[in-house]
Structure 1
Amino acid sequence: MFFVVTVYMLAIFNQIQTSKGHDQQLQNVAYSKTVTLSSQYPDRGYEGWKAVNGIFSDLSHTGRERFPWLRIDLGANFFIHEIEVFARSNCFESQLHDLDVKVGNVTDSMHLCGHFTGYTRLGGRMAVFCPTPTVGRYVQIQIVKGDSNVMSPAEVLVWGKRV
């Protein structure tokens, strides 16, 4: 039984780390990395790390503010190819919309990688492809439209490779 569970867990880990739809050299370089939220939802249990834990059924959640953001520290510089943001699948798909995706080596000087306009659907995917070459240690996703927003992504995948 232990062997079966171990093999199953390794298969899940491999699926989160690599994708058949991407170049074999690209990996999800955000998996289990440090995440900072612009604010914290008042109820406990919605911490930033849940956006990079590989589990699509939980979520991270900011408090209500004008332009909430989520920032991932990749721990080193990577060539960034694509960022995928997945909406929660249970409700409130409108909480993920009009996103700017920025990449940078330092948090106070990030460059726009791309923009997603509009809303997603329940469990939907927003994908932003970065221009080549885009290199950075930090990836930031920010809602840039509206007066009062919360951000609650289920998962964020950052496809890249080490510099």
Structure 2
Amino acid sequence: MAKLFFIFLTYTQLSLHLGSIVQYEYIKQEDAPLYGELSCQVSSESSFMACVILSVRSKSVSFFFNKNEHVCRWDCIFLASRSCTTYCTEPWSYYAIKWKTNAALSRPVTSSSVYFNESIKWGSHYATNGARSPIEREIFASHFEMSPWLKIQLIDPKSITFVRVYNRRDMLGERFHDVAVEVSPDEFGNFVQRGFYKGPGLTDQVIEILCDYPASGLYVRIRITEGSSNILSIAEVEIYVV
């Protein structure tokens, strides 16, 4: 987690097109992301609060704001192999949803299947081991199936803010598409969708999926919901809680 430069608390309650009420807390970060932006949506002559609203409406975990020119950049696509430079230095500031810790690290994980049943190469445990393999092995990969999934058990029920997925880094990033983030209070399959990523993803993309507010559970499942022959591939998944 980036070191906090100063804390700017903004509780924003908005009625979105679905009629739901959301509440998020954005915090100014001293350090730029470890990964860099490939593209963002841009709004000129924008106030800081307008930038917050644009970010909330698009369910962006983070945004950039230029205090001198009043320019907002949100809904960004990030790649793990790039460094953030142009929009991560003065007069730009970087804001991100407040989180406490990555609750997925080293937690037990199961999946609908493992590619060719070879757990040594593509087992589900690679999704929470804290490493992001740059090659096709030592990542999680499922069989080709209609709705592959990966399920993480947290240490206890948590209030979940967002899920960060490091897409596979070698090729075929577009396989990550139509992905639901589902949360359950128990192991009996009472999952409810609390976040969604349409995609398709890019190779090496860092995908952040903001959950509906509030989202609380003991189990988090990442599942492809559309298509008939899908493979779920993930280099690493992080679940951020408050």
Question: Do the two structures share a fold, i.e. TM-score over 0.5?
Answer: yes
Which residue is 2:208 aligned to?
A: 127
Which SS does the other structure have where 2:125 is aligned? helix
Query: Is 1:19–1:27's contact at 8 Å kept on the other side of the alignment?
Result: no
Whichever residue aligns with residue 55 of structure 1, its letter is A
Work out whether 1:56 is the aligned partner of 2:137.
no
Q: CA RMSD in A?
A: 1.5
Which structure 2 residues correspond to residues 5-154 of structure 1 after superposition, within 5 A?
18-20=1-3, 21-23=96-98, 26-42=100-116, 43=118, 44-57=120-133, 58-107=138-187, 108-154=189-235
Which SS does the other structure have where 1:45 is aligned? helix
Q: Assess, with a 3 A threshold, how the Cα gap between structure 1 residues 32 and 19 changes in structure 2: closer, same or farther.
A: farther
Q: Distance in 1 between matches of 2:143 and 2:106?
A: 22
Q: Distance in 2 between matches of 1:96 and 1:136?
A: 24
Whichever residue aligns with residue 165 of structure 2, its letter is V
Q: Distance in 2 between matches of 1:99 and 1:133?
A: 19
Q: Deviations 1:46-76 (Å, cap 9, x if unpaired)?
A: 1111011111114111111111000000121
Q: Distance in 2 between matches of 1:19 and 1:27?
A: 11
Higher relative contact order (CA 8 A, sep 6+): 1
Q: What TM-score, normalized by structure 1, do the two folds share?
A: 0.82
Q: Distance in 1 between matches of 2:171 and 2:211?
A: 29
Structure 1: 4+ residue segments shifted above 4 A: 19-22
Which SS does the other structure have where 1:158 is aligned? strand
The structure number with the bigger radius of gyration is 2
Alignment: residue pair count: 143
Give unpaired runs (5+ residues) of structure 1: 1-17
State the Cα distance separating 1:94 from its structure 2 match.
Answer: 2.1
Q: Percent identity?
A: 29
